[in-house]
């Protein structure tokens, strides 16, 4: 149980285009999902917290107009990188908390999406 | 604000030898502590967590960690490593409660098991 999927697993796009990444909780409901970014040989940096049915909460320094987050249902959150540039190339990872197991304080991570902007 | 320090960026160890990956944290409030493992080009998998209770926590794959409040540490140990343990290990601290939780990750320790 507690599986989180991401789609696509990797994507290459041209500079100036937009890319959408999906994060799905497959066997549980997630009122809260998190989006992280990981640069090579670095740790995960929280970008934003996505709450179902409301606006995402962005971390300081993250451009909300560039990284659009939508959490339209209890099992799906999307991250859209708008007008992507080569510096946006990174490994994007989402995680989700099980709404039915808040007391576990555990986040379940997706497998990540490798974005390369040429 | 909380922070996590992983003191070793890389730890080489021979197969079947014991290993300890160090983690120290700082926080002005009570925290929950986690260790995650990441294999190449994959997401993170939870190894173990400390929420409360016994300070010695046992996780998957034979790993364990001990929470030491006085030293603000949560070191990860395994008595005998296997080749398949080669991966990156992240220590994380979480603060908050209820519907809000923020997790801060350490920079990671790359464990290299040498045959």
The minimal CB distance from A105 to the residues B32, B36, B42 is found for B32
Which one, of B38, B84, B75, B71, lies nearest residue B57 by Cα? B75
pLDDT at B100 over 60: no
pLDDT tens for each residue of B56-85: 999 999 999 999 999 999 999 999 999 999
Interface test with B, best of A21, A106, A108 (most B CBs within 10 A): A106
Structure token pair of residue B87: 């991966």
Instruction: Please report the DSSP string for B66-100 in residue order.
Output: EEETTTTEEEEEESS--GGG-EEEEEEEEE--TT-
d(CA B88, CA A91): 15
Structure token pair of residue A61: 């320094």
Residues facing A46 on adjacent strands: A36
Could you check whether the bond before residue A8 is cis, i.e. omega within 30 degrees of 0? yes
SS3 B58: strand
pLDDT at B10 over 60: yes
pLDDT tens for each residue of B17-34: 999 999 999 887 778 899
User: Per-residue pLDDT averaged across B83-106, rounded?
Assistant: 82
What pLDDT does A102 receive?
66
pLDDT tens for each residue of A26-85: 989 988 899 999 887 778 899 999 888 888 999 999 999 999 999 888 999 999 999 999
């Amino acid at each position: 149980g507690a599986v989180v999927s991401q789609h696509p697993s990797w994507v290459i796009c041209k500079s100036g285009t937009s890319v959408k990444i999906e994060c799905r909780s497959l066997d549980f409901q997630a009122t809260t999902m998190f989006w992280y970014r990981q640069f090579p040989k670095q740790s995960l940096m929280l970008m934003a917290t996505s709450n179902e049915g409301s606006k995402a909460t962005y971390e300081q320094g993250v451009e909300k107009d560039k990284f659009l987050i939508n959490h339209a249902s209890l099992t799906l959150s999307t991250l859209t990188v708008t007008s992507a540039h080569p510096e946006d190339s990174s490994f994007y990872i989402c995680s989700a908390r099980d709404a039915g197991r808040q007391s576990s304080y555990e986040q379940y991570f997706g497998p990540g999406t490798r974005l390369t902007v040429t | 604000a909380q922070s996590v320090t992983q003191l070793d960026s890389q730890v080489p160890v021979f197969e079947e030898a014991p290993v300890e990956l160090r983690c120290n944290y700082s926080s002005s409030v009570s925290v929950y502590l986690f260790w995650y493992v990441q294999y190449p080009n994959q997401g993170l998998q939870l190894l173990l967590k400390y929420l409360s209770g016994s300070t010695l926590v046992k996780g998957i794959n034979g790993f364990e960690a001990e929470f030491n409040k006085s030293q603000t540490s949560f070191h990860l140990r395994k008595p005998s490593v296997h080749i398949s343990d080669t991966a990156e290990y992240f220590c994380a601290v979480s603060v908050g409660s209820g519907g809000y939780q923020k997790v801060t990750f350490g920079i990671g320790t790359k464990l290299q098991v040498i045959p």
